[in-house]
Chain A
Amino acid sequence: QSALTQPPSVSGSRGQSVTISCTGTTSDIGSSDRVSWYLQPPGTAPKLIIYDVSNRPSGVPDRFSGSKSGNTASLTISGLQAEDEADYYCTSRTSSSTLVFGGGTKVTVL
């Protein structure tokens, strides 16, 4: 099972919007709505920010939104803030009932 494909880095100024793509195949993202996103500040455990493509857990700001089209999922951060600087990972259920992560994207706030 190959890792999902994410851009290594994205950047934006405070207040801007950035979008992170996550591309898989018909065996994972393309056939499942079990797509989730995590953010991981340096030296800490990951934190769930989106599940089931577009749902936010309680306490996650609505600046974070998720979507999916075909084999590609996307995470959009609107109104970028300094504290959003972190590594972001997507993950998807696969057709084998396993999980696969994306390679991760470093978000930099300029």
Chain B
Amino acid sequence: EVLLVESGGGLVQPGGSLRLSCAASGFTFSNYKMNWVRQAPGKGLEWVSSISTSSSFIYYADSMKGRFTISRDNAKKSLYLQVNSLRAEDTAVYYCAREPTSYYGSGNYYFDYWGQGTLVTVSS
């Protein structure tokens, strides 16, 4: 069974930092492009970032560039998101999502499995 379990969320003061983790199981993690998607309370889904199988290709939404850093450890089957200089508007549930990936490493730009999400609250 494919499982994605996020952790690392919590209450953080404005200006603080957080590192979110996503532990994968039930599939060969190194064969899949991975993504972070967030959802502010009562709002819609917002794509954050993607990382290729070997970390060679990394992309961010324009509004996330500079403060967000995605990374992965294939040996640990884990995906990470480092978020710095947190702002109130970063308050959201952060989901990790698996993207079906071709043999050559090309992503298919949709998500077949999602984690349950981890809530980040930025408040003083």
Contact = CB atoms under 8 A, between A and B. Distances in A.
Contacts of B35: 99
Contacts, number: 65
Contacts of B95: 45-46
A105 to B, nearest CB: 9
Interface in B70-114: 95, 108-112, 114
**Interface-central residue, A38, A45, A46, by most chain B CB under 10 Å:** A45
A109 interface: no
A52 B115 CA distance: 22
A103 B44 contact: yes
Contacts of B62: 1
A52 B114 contact: no
A1 B44 CA distance: 15
A1 B116 CA distance: 26
B59 interface: yes
A100 B115 contact: no
Interface residues of B, number: 22
A99 B114 contact: no
B85 to A, nearest CB: 21
A100 B110 CA distance: 11
Nearest to B46: A101
A45 B45 CA distance: 10
B47 interface: yes
Contacts of B47: 91, 98-101
A93 B109 contact: yes
B113 to A, nearest CB: 8
A68 interface: no
8 contacts: A32-B109, A48-B111, A48-B112, A57-B112, A91-B45, A91-B110, A96-B59, A102-B44
Interface of A: 1, 3, 32, 34, 36, 38, 40, 45-48, 51-52, 57, 87, 89, 91-93, 96-104
Given A1-B62, A45-B115, A98-B61, 14 more contacts: A1-B61, A34-B109, A45-B116, A46-B37, A46-B111, A48-B110, A48-B112, A52-B108, A87-B44, A96-B59, A98-B59, A99-B109, A101-B44, A101-B46
